[in-house]
């Protein structure tokens, strides 16, 4: 049995948008990919302002949210990979946010 693979090494993002339920990324090749925000708990728990504070990194092969300490690669989005963060790490991050930052 043969399997096909997708070469995602050259795909780059040109635009990112988020709402309360999804992350949508426009790619430079004309495609748009949308994934549930629940795949990335830090984005899900972020405020609208924090979610909008993103920038493209590594020539558009990744997206960085400084306020949320989150990085997502276009390759992982195309491969259908959600956040790899452990539950214990996420719980520590949430606890730190609750104790140190005001919420919108």
Q: Is the pLDDT of residue 3 over 50?
A: yes
Q: Is the pLDDT of residue 5 over 70?
A: no
Q: Is the pLDDT of residue 1 over 80?
A: no
Q: Which domains does the chain have, with CATH numbers?
A: 13-99 (3.30.2020.40)
Q: What proportion of the chain, given as a percentage, has pLDDT over 90?
A: 82
Q: Do 69 and 51 contact (CB within 8 A), yes or no?
A: no
Q: Is the pLDDT of residue 13 over 70?
A: yes
Each residue of 63-101: pLDDT tens digit? 999 999 999 999 999 999 999 999 999 999 999 998 876
pLDDT at 99: 81
Residue 46: which of 27, 26, 24, 69 has the closest Cα? 69
Model confidence at 8, in pLDDT bands (50, 70, 90)?
Answer: very low
Each residue of 35-62: pLDDT tens digit? 999 999 999 999 999 999 999 999 999 9
Tokens 């984005």 correspond to what residue? 43
Rounded to an integer, what is the distance from CA 24 to the centroid of its chain? 9
């Amino acid at each position: 049995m043969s399997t096909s693979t997708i070469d995602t090494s050259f795909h780059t993002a040109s635009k990112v948008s988020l709402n309360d339920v999804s992350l949508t990324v426009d790619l430079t090749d004309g495609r748009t990919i949308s994934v549930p925000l629940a795949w990335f708990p830090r984005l899900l728990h972020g405020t609208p302002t924090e979610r909008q504070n993103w920038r493209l990194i590594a020539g558009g092969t990744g997206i960085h949210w400084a306020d949320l300490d989150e990085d997502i690669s276009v390759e992982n989005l195309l491969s259908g990979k959600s956040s790899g963060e452990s539950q214990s790490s996420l719980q520590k991050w949430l606890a730190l946010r609750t104790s140190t930052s005001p919420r919108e």
